[in-house]
Every structure is written in structure tokens, then in C-alpha cells.
Amino acid sequence: MKFAIVSSTLPGDLPEKLQAAARAGFQAVEIFEKDLLYSDKSPQELRELAAELGLSLISLQPFSDFEGLPAEQRSKALQRAQRKFDLMQKLGIKRLIVTSSTHPQASAELSHMARDLAELADLAAEQGLELAYEPLPWATHIRDIEAAFAVIQQAKRSNLGLVLDSFAFFARDTALHALTPALVERVMLVQLADSPSTTIDLQQIDRHFRCHAGQGILPLVSLVKQLQASSFNGIFSQKVPCEEFRASNPYQIARNGYRSLQWLIKQAEAEPQPQESLVSSIEFVELASQGGEANWLEQLLLALGFRKTHQHRSKEVALYRQGQINFLVNREPDSFANAYYDRHGTAVCALGLGSQQLAQVVENCREYRCDFVQSPHLPDEMTLPAIRNVGDGLLYLVDTAQVARFFEVDFIPLPNESVNPVGFGLTRIDHITQAVSSTEFLAVIQFYQILFGLTANAEYDLIDRNGIVHSRSLINADHSVQFPINTSHSRESSTERFRVGLSGSGVQHIALQCEDIFAVAKQLNPNHILPISPNYYEEVQADFLLDDALIERLRAYNILYDMNEQGEFFHIYTRHINGLFFEIVQRNNYQGFGERNAAARLAAQAREYQRMRELLLV
């Protein structure tokens, strides 16, 4: 299967786009002509660069407003076409994408359009070139693939075929059974893009909201299956000219695009089966810190009931445990964690994901072109595969099928310390929330779905007084791994304030589960707890008709409350360190994350942020 990408999908100049596409695994590139205008490289230089990178340049696009024009304009259009053909010869491209006309004076007569395309095809054939006709949903007359097929059938030229654009196909509500073997035989190229919607202005969606396959709502798996059933064996190309990608890393966009095409073809070829979770636990959270900040961080962990139970055999890494929760505080100089701290300050630099099927997880990561990172270790220390995670953090892949735990091999237990301290009663990591940019949001969700079999819940909006935070949660089958992913377009929102302070995306908050939140709260230092507005408790009592005694207990410890048809949820937040904060939760047959309380939490954090700014100005 050959995969291509349209150059307008990627940010950067054209050489950067070509290099990113090749590195991501694409075999071919479609050149969007405006990218040539912005490049200082000649067509010949770009052709040579593509050859060096092992890329085929398979099409030039778009050539628009051609068929059905009045005679004078038609003559000018043919002159334009010859200039395109000359450029294609210099680039070594053999196919021109001709989009259906949006010209208001274009004829509606099928015979006129077919005559014009036939003449253009003959001109192209004289120069060894071919045309691929692409219907635009907003064109004057030819708006769907069936209408375009009718035109090229009447034109009767062997070097004149079709482009099937998945976004345009579904935007016109075209039925899959329209893809007959006769039509598919004339499809030269399939351009794939997903979309979160087709109900708003189609040109706005086309310019701003296209996304990679599997990130939207379009039934692309069914489309690919129908094409394969009709014996399509051509090129699948990624066409996602999303403006939000402009400030992103071109390689990351290219890799995400390639990964989505891999996933799509694999889904189309596979028998339907339930999604299988490949990860079963969060084995550890690694925190990078140095000096006084590391001392403060370790004091906070102690104040939350953790105990320093182990020290790494060869590195300056301490293990803090409580129940089944493992926090690593990494002070090792000249290490990945130290470099992470230099870039971001005290922060979560790595997560350890446990799997009973490590070989399958590693195979997935290799198949989908994850970036593996080698960590230095002594010969008798455990080797943990590691890949790049959100931002520039790491995900360690831990084999939980083997008897020995990671800390039993690489760490030395400290004297007089329990291996599994009870502490204040925190038992396990409930969920870990990661803050990402809007351009990363869909790709991060797909990353966890494809690699680890996590299921994405529906998107919901958190109301921040400084903007909206969009959130989706990824979970495994038994909810032992839960990753809410948050993003926001508002620079002053909690999510973006964190990302600005961190200088990138990463883990913003860690929720720790307990069985009795009031028992835990009694042991916490109130100075570490995020104060909640008293007005919140008036609303909670009115909404849930809680008795006065419970409301007073909640208020006394700044505990938030939610209830649904499943059960009850109690949670409490700490103040942050470098934007990172903790949450303590108690679940009584409750699934979810207390979303109704997000506004109260975000408002409290905004007040804390403002208070800190005012203190700094004093």
C-alpha cells in the first residue's frame, strides 16, 4: 500500500515538508502550487531533493475554473494549463489535479464540460501527462463524484480520471454504493481527511477543521472497504490543510498523518472485534526536579502521606510510595530528567505504563513509528522500553507479566521503611490529566487509542472563567488507566497558563484515589489545599439536598461533591507547584471525573493565580 501526503497539510517551507514526509514514512507527495511560490528552491532543485529522499512527486494541484467557460476565457485557461504542464515537466510530475469549476459563468451543459476536459486531456497526453478531475462540494455545477464521473465518461479520454476526496464525498451525502466498480476503475487517487462535522459551511470546514483519519466522525473505514471491494489499488493520500498545523512541527504532523493512514487501512482489512486494552496499570510517575524545588516537592509528597521507601542503585532517584502509588523524584545530573527540568522546571517527565502484553505493545509502537529512547543503565538493571509521549516527556513500557516489580530490581529498600506504606490511606492513581495544544489534541487522543487500545469518551467542555477547556478522557476496560486530555484556545485559561509556564505540553494534574476522603483530609496540611468558594456549597446543597452536617464537613475541608445515577464522588485539590497539582478522590460506585465541579475548581485556581501575581508585584 502506497501512502502520499499533500504538501499543504504540513507547516514549514517546501524542503522542510518533503523531509518531514520522508522521515514519517510517506512514499509520495502531492505538491500544492502555492507552496512553490513560498520556496526559494527551483523546481529542478525540489525534484532532486525529492529523489534524494526517496519520494515520488505524484501530482500538482490545483488547476481550477477550466471547464465550461465562455470562448475567450477558455482560450486563456488553456494558456494557463500549458504553463502548469511546463512546470510539471520541471518537477517530474505526471498528474495535474483539475478541480471542478466555481466560475459563475461556467456552462451547465455536460457536453460542453466534457468537450473542454477532453481537449485539455489531449494537450496533456501530447506531453505524457494525465489529468485527475476533482469535484468540489461548492462548485458551480459538478459537486460530487457521480457528476464528475458522468463528465469524464462523456469525455472518453484514457488519461482523464477522478480524484476521490473523502471529505467532499461525505459532505455531499454521497452513498457508498455510488462507488461502483466502473467508477472506482477511473479513480486515480484517493485523498483522505476526516472532519468533526459536515453541518456548518463546507468551505470553512475544508479550510479550518479537516483532521486526520479516525479523528472525526466520517465513516472512512467503510469508504476504504468499499473501494477495496471495487478493486481499487491506487494511492491513498493525506489531505488535511488545517490552519492550526501552521505553527506545529512538520515531522510530528506528517507522522500523525502516516499513523492515521496505517490505522485506517488496518481497520478496513480487519474483522470487527471489541477494542482490547493493552495496558493495565500506571506503574510509576517520574518527577524531574533539582535543588530547593526538589526539597519542596519531596516535602509535599510527605505531607500527602507518602514515604521514601527506596533509593535507586546507581542514580540519584528516590522512590516515594503509598498503597500502590509510586512516585520517582529524579535529581540525577546529566540525565534526561535533568535536561527536562532545565527546559520545564519541576514537572512530570515520564510515566510508566504497565502491560501484561508488552511484546504486543512494543510491536504496536514500532509499527506506528514511535520514537524510542534509550536510557542508560547498568548491566544488572532492568531495561524498560521508552517512547516519546506528550510534549517531550517519556512513556516507559513496563512488563507486569513478570514476577519482579521495577523497584525490586533497580532500587534498594531503605532501612525501617515499609515496602507498601499505608500513609494517609491513598491507594492508587485514579487518573492523570495532560494539557496539550489545540493542534495536538486529536493526535494525542488517537495516539493512546491506536497504541494501547484505550477508549475515548465523548468530548465535554469545562467552563473556565477565562475561556473554555475542551476535554476527552481515555480509559482502559477496568478504569485502572485513565487519561483526561485537555486543551484550550484561551491563553488565560488554566490549561494554557499551565502550558505557558511549562513551556510546552505535559501532565498538569494527578488524581489519587482513597476509600475515606474525610480521614485523609484530617491529616492534610490546610496550607496545601486549594480553597473553594463558600458559595459553591450553597449550590451543592440546593442541587443534591444534602444534610447540613455533610455540607459543613465538605466546606471544612474544601471537598467538592457530585452524584449521579451510579453513585457519589468526593474530591479535593492541592495548590500547585509549577502548575502541577494533585487531586484526592473517593468513588462510591461513580464513573466520571466530577465534571460539574470543574468550574468551581478552575475559578479557585484562577484566584490563586491572581493572588500569586499580586504577591510577586509587591
454-477 confidence digits (pLDDT tens): 999 988 899 888 889 999 999 999
* Residue 365: C-alpha distances to residues 238, 388, 448 (Å): 21, 10, 11
DSSP of 110-166: HHHHHHHHHHHHHHHHTTT-EEEEE--TTSSS--SHHHHHHHHHHHT-TTEEEEEEH
Distance CA 468, CA 488 (A): 6
SS3 sequence of 347-377: EEEEEEEEECCHHHHHHHHHHCCCCECCCCC
Spatial CA neighbour of 53 closest among 254, 245, 244: 254
CA angle in degrees (0–180, nearest 5) for 463-467-469: 60
Spatial CA neighbour of 200 closest among 135, 243, 134, 138: 138
| Count of other CB atoms within 10 angstroms of residue 396 | 21
The structural domains of the chain, ordered by start, are 31-230 (3.20.20.150), 281-413 (3.10.180.10), 426-616 (3.10.180.10)
- How confident is the model at residue 199, as a pLDDT? 54
- How confident is the model at residue 271, as a pLDDT? 72
SS3 sequence of 193-252: CECCCCCCCHHHHHHHCCECCCCCCCCHHHHHHHHHHCCCCCEEEECCCCHHHHHCCHHH
- How confident is the model at residue 375, as a pLDDT? 79
Residues of the chain with pLDDT under 50: 618
> Residue 431's beta-bridge partner residues?
511
Give the three cell numbers for residue 581.
497539582
Q: How many CA atoms lie within 13 A of 560 on its CB side?
A: 26
Query: What kind and span of H or E run contains 554?
Result: helix 548-556
- How confident is the model at residue 399, as a pLDDT? 93
Spatial CA neighbour of 168 closest among 139, 188, 141: 139
Provide the greatest CA pair distance for the chain: 94
- How confident is the model at residue 196, as a pLDDT? 74
- Condensed to tens digits (0 to 9), the pLDDT of residues 171-219 reads 888 999 999 999 999 999 999 998 876 555 566 656 556 788 888 888 9
CA angle in degrees (0–180, nearest 5) for 311-312-316: 90
- How confident is the model at residue 381, as a pLDDT? 74
- How confident is the model at residue 382, as a pLDDT? 78
Report yes or no: 22 and 54 within 8 Å, Cβ to Cβ.
Answer: yes
Query: What kind and span of H or E run contains 483?
Result: strand 482-488
Q: How many CA atoms lie within 13 A of 185 on its CB side?
A: 6
Residue given cell 534509550 in the structure block = 374
Distance CA 359, CA 365 (A): 10
- How confident is the model at residue 151, as a pLDDT? 96
